[in-house]
Amino acid sequence: MKPEIRERIEQIRKGVVPEGYKKTKAGINPKDWDVKQLNYILDHVERKVPKPKKGYWRLGLRSHAKGTFHEFIDDPDTVAMEELFLVAEKDLVVNITFAWEHAIALADKNDAGKLVSHRFPTYVFRENACPNFYKYYVIQPYFKKMLSDISPGGAGRNRVMSKKSFMNLWVHMPPISEQKKIAGVLSIWDKAIKLKERLIAEKKQQKKWLMQNLLTGRKRLPGFTGKWKEIRLGDIGHTYAGLSGKSKEDFGYGKYYIPYNNIYENPVIDVRKLELVNILDNEKQNKVRYGDIFFTTSSETQNEVGMSAVYLGDIDEVYLNSFCMGFRLNDFNTLLPEFACYYFRGLAFRKILYMLAQGAIRFNLSRASLTKISVKLPTISEQTAIAEILSTADREINLHEKQLEELKRQKKALMQLLLTGIVRVREQGVS
């Protein structure tokens, strides 16, 4: 960042008006920018249509400025309103019931033709405003605060936004040419983010294919041809219980323990997300060791039961939470921990656990049932080769996810600067 931009940011942060800027009802902004109320750039447009007699697509808005979603209404008779409204591309749509929760978005071509109720007023931009500029503008935190301020009342549906107050909100209005340039710059970041998200999705799909084939022996790596050996889990290890007899007062200090989500979300325990629990010196609790495999044992949903993770950390004293069980290998000569972290998350093994999970309100997996499971395992050398391929795929995915987060961070910072005029977009570039 250029020194003059840093200085400008610091001046504005302190409330000092930099040269070339002015104080307005929307804050400090460039002298050649106008500040107008929304009624200067928007028109409220209603495209009334009778409620369809057959199924139709309804448009909804996600809170926290997360965009739109579509819902198919099979039976229009379940909808109380007899009159609905048509949405067009580049409409600014607001959910007046949840405007305080930042439910606002600019409709795109996929939203065109969808229907909304009277609680989703639609606004059309006049020729003096660039819709794509305000698409980014209305999702900013300061705009959310303005929406919250004009949505009086209690929580939830009692907080209805005033449509009159909405049109009276003050917003920045750069010259139309600069609006378009700012929108163009930010759209480049959007395209880069979408490309990265698409690449990550492809990489995850490739890894899924590798797991489905390599972990079942459907596809063999070059140099490996022998049959996989069937082994009963109880013959190569034993189970142990997690923490017992702990109250909420015991957590938050003391020794490290592995929480439920750390197992559910990660094939390998993330040591950065270990939590703390009080363990007395004379307590008989099971300590975790390198190579231990953990399984979730109780959940309200069947697909969460038996989710596994492996501990590959080097912290001496770690304990397991009470909603999970540990499985300790007798040695690493039959099953490699680095292979196990993928094998037990594979679809084939997960299907076995689905069948074993029992319960009505909660699904439970017993330690005894786990040890009775028989699995087919390749040699340690083949396990090592498979684990290396899958861990390489994980490292690649993690790298792309970090790059994605950096792109999002850059875009967020750039929006805050461009949309308020702290950084200008001119013919010769950004200044």
What's the rounded Cα separation, in Å, for the pair 126 and 132?
Answer: 12
Using CA atoms of 254, 255, 259, 263 in order, give the dihedral in degrees to the nearest 10.
170
Stated pTM of the model? 0.83
The secondary structure of residue 68, as a DSSP letter, is E
SS3 295: strand
Instruction: Name, in order, each residue with C-beta under 8 angstroms of 29's C-beta and a sequence gap of 6 or more.
Output: 21, 22, 35, 172, 420, 421
DSSP strand pairing (318-320 vs 251-258): parallel
Residue 157, pLDDT score: 65
State the sign of the Cα–Cα–Cα–Cα dihedral 384, 388, 389, 394: positive
State the sign of the Cα–Cα–Cα–Cα dihedral 96, 102, 107, 113: negative
Beta strand ranges found along 141-194 (DSSP E): 170-173
Residue 5, pLDDT score: 82
What's the rounded Cα separation, in Å, for the pair 331 and 363?
Answer: 31
The secondary structure of residue 70, as a DSSP letter, is E
Distances (CA, A) of 428 to 130, 158, 178, 284, 419: 21, 49, 12, 71, 18
* Tokens representing residue 289 in the block: 């060791």
* Tokens representing residue 358 in the block: 């029992």
Residue 156, pLDDT score: 61
* Tokens representing residue 191 in the block: 């395209």
Give the model confidence (pLDDT) of 130-185 as tens digits: 999 999 999 999 999 999 999 998 766 678 999 999 999 999 999 999 999 999 99
Which strands make up the sheet holding 104-106, listed edge to edge?
42-44, 122-125, 92-94, 104-106
Half-sphere exposure of 285 (CA within 13 A, CB side): 23
Q: Give the DSSP H/E element, type plus range, for residue 294.
A: strand 293-296
Exposure of 251 by Cβ count < 10 A (0-12 exposed, 13-18 middle, 19+ buried)? middle
Note the residue count of the chain.
431
Q: In this structure, are residues 285 and 243 in contact, taking their beta carbons and an 8 Å threshold? A: yes
Distances (CA, A) of 212 to 52, 140, 174, 176, 216: 45, 42, 54, 53, 6
Q: How does pLDDT run along the chain (431 residues), one tens digit per residue?
A: 678 888 888 888 888 999 999 998 888 889 999 999 999 999 999 999 999 999 999 999 999 999 999 999 999 988 888 899 999 999 999 999 999 999 999 999 999 999 999 999 999 999 999 999 999 999 999 999 999 999 998 766 678 999 999 999 999 999 999 999 999 999 999 999 999 999 999 999 999 999 999 999 999 999 999 999 999 999 999 999 999 999 989 999 999 999 999 999 999 999 999 999 999 888 899 999 999 999 988 777 767 778 899 999 999 899 999 889 999 999 999 999 999 999 999 999 988 888 887 766 678 888 999 999 999 999 999 999 999 999 999 999 999 999 999 999 999 999 999 998 988 886 435 55
Half-sphere exposure of 390 (CA within 13 A, CB side): 25
Residue 428, pLDDT score: 38
Give the model confidence (pLDDT) of 326-349 as tens digits: 999 999 999 999 999 999 999 999
Residue 22, pLDDT score: 92
Q: In this structure, are residues 103 and 94 in contact, taking their beta carbons and an 8 Å threshold? A: yes
Number of C-beta neighbours around residue 192 at 10 A:
16
* Tokens representing residue 207 in the block: 């890894």
Domains and their CATH numbers in the chain = 1-32 (no CATH), 34-173 (3.90.220.20), 174-208+381-431 (1.10.287.1120), 229-377 (3.90.220.20)
Q: In this structure, are residues 217 and 376 in contact, taking their beta carbons and an 8 Å threshold? A: yes
SS3 133: helix
